[in-house]
Amino acid sequence: MTKTAIAGYMFSNESPESADFYREIVDGLSTLPRTIPPKYFYDEEGSRLFESICEQPEYYPTRTEISLLEKHVDDIRVLAGSDCCLVEPGSGSCEKVRLLLDTLRPTVYVPLDISCEHLKSAAAGIAADYPWLDVHAVCTDITSEVSLSFIPAQATPVMFYPGSSIGNFDPEDAVEFLACLAQIAGRGGGLLIGVDRKKDHEILQQAYNDAGGVTAAFNLNLLERANRELDADFNVDAFEHFASYNSAAGRIEMHLISTRKQTVNIDGHCFDFNAGDSIHTENSYKYTDEEFTTLAEQAGFTPCEIWSDSDGLFSLHFLRVS
């Protein structure tokens, strides 16, 4: 673990090793259906591509969630209380939290992300722009055990989990992850979370198949990353992006489809693909408010408030640890 500290700003690096990426990709490609965990999308290039996805006209979640945060920030302040500490798993560019900071005035802000360089610059930007705020950034895998011993005892932790990232977990894993957030927040602590709703399938199809091809580039970057970091020899031109709504499962699925018969080598391991074979790279579950509330209750939260846009695309939930 490495640490960097300047007044009001601390950065700790507990990021996974590249050996974990190697092990998980080899394991994921060795069994059917072939998978690669979505957390590996986010190297520096993947984080940059994700930000570009957020700007695509078809990708409604980011702008919808931003408008909900702007509209309801005063209500959020009342629920968060006067002495809160904001902890943001998967903080990305840390842009959304900027909509909360001046109103909530937390004592500490703790962004957590797996994409180290991106986190470093985003968190340093927050520390520079909000000199009154203590920023303690941790580069870590939030699905592993995270200990935040530096949260002040008198502060009420409020977990901030925007971006509908909860949809990347299967529902049972989502309950387990939410229970971990509840444990970090402790009794009386809060959770402000963005959840993408079930909706017209065409809107979903378009959001994950933008005309600019940015989501496709984001998906394919996973293979480029394996070539860069793991001595793999994926022919990226021989795979294509595929995203589709699986209505039975209530989720968007993203895959990389082999366009021809080919063999891929990853540091001595060979993987054979026929044309049409898939690597499943991401799920993004969509929830009605009732479905999400049920999951959150199983994880130990009590719902307090739900805000949604007039088109019913996206919901922002505030919940409290029971």
Residue 104 in the binding site for ligand SAM (CB under 6 A): no
Q: Does 50 bind ligand SAM (CB under 6 A)?
A: yes
Closer residue to ligand SAM in complex, CB, 29/49: 49
141 counts as binding ligand SAM under rule CB under 6 A? yes
Kindly list the strands in the beta sheet with 251-258, ordered across the sheet, starting from the edge strand earlier in the chain. Answer: 34-35, 278-285, 251-258, 239-246
Taken as a whole, the chain contains a residue count of: 322
Alpha carbons 229 and 35: distance in angstroms, whole number: 18
User: Binding of ligand SAM at residue 111 (CB under 6 A)?
Assistant: no
Q: Whose Cβ is closer to ligand SAM: residue 30's or residue 144's?
A: 144
Among 22, 42, 109, 292, interactor with ligand SAM by CB under 6 A: 42
Would you count residue 115 as binding ligand SAM (CB under 6 A)? yes
According to the binding rule CB under 6 A, does residue 225 interact with ligand SAM? no
CB of 77 to ligand SAM, least distance (A): 20
- In whole angstroms, the minimum distance from the beta carbon of 215 to ligand SAM comes to 12
> Nearest distance from residue 284's CB to ligand SAM, in Å?
9
Distance in Å, CB of 189 to ligand SAM, minimum: 19
CA distance 315 to 313: 7
Cβ nearer to ligand SAM, comparing 136 with 264? 136
Residues 6 or more apart whose Cβ sits within 8 Å of residue 99: 66, 69, 70, 73
Q: Does 165 bind ligand SAM (CB under 6 A)?
A: yes
In the complex, the smallest distance separating the C-beta of residue 47 from ligand SAM, rounded to whole angstroms, is: 6
Binding residue for ligand SAM (CB under 6 A) from 12, 143, 227, 244?
143
Taking each continuous run of H as one helix and of E as one strand, the counts in the chain are: 9, 15
Give 88's strand partners. Answer: 111
Name which of 190 and 273 has its Cβ closer to ligand SAM. 190
Contact positions with ligand SAM (CB under 6 A) in 168-187: none
CA of residue 256 relative to chain centroid, distance = 20
Pairing of strands 269-273, 262-266: antiparallel
- For residues 65-94, which are near ligand SAM according to CB under 6 A? 90-92
Radius of gyration from C-alpha coordinates of the chain: 20
**In the bound complex, what is the minimum distance in angstroms from residue 142's beta carbon to ligand SAM?**
4
Beta bridge partners of 110: 87
Q: In the complex with ligand SAM, which residue's Cβ is closer, 157 or 162?
A: 162
Q: CB of residue 153 vs ligand SAM: minimum separation in angstroms?
A: 25
Of 106, 113, 134, 156, the one binding ligand SAM (CB under 6 A) is: 113
CA–CA separation, 76 vs 192, rounded Å?
8
Cβ burial 262-292 (10 Å sphere, 16+ → b, else e): bebebeeeebebeeebbbbbbbbbbbebebb
- What is the spatial distance between Cα 26 and Cα 74, in angstroms, rounded to a whole number? 48
What is d(CA 232, CA 38) in angstroms, rounded to the nearest whole number? Answer: 18
Closest separation in Å from C-beta 249 to ligand SAM: 19
Q: Residue 11 or 50: which CB sits closer to ligand SAM?
A: 50
Asked whether 273 and 262 are in contact (CB, 8 A), the reply is yes
Binding site for ligand SAM (CB under 6 A): 39, 42, 47, 50, 90-92, 96, 113-115, 141-143, 162-163, 165
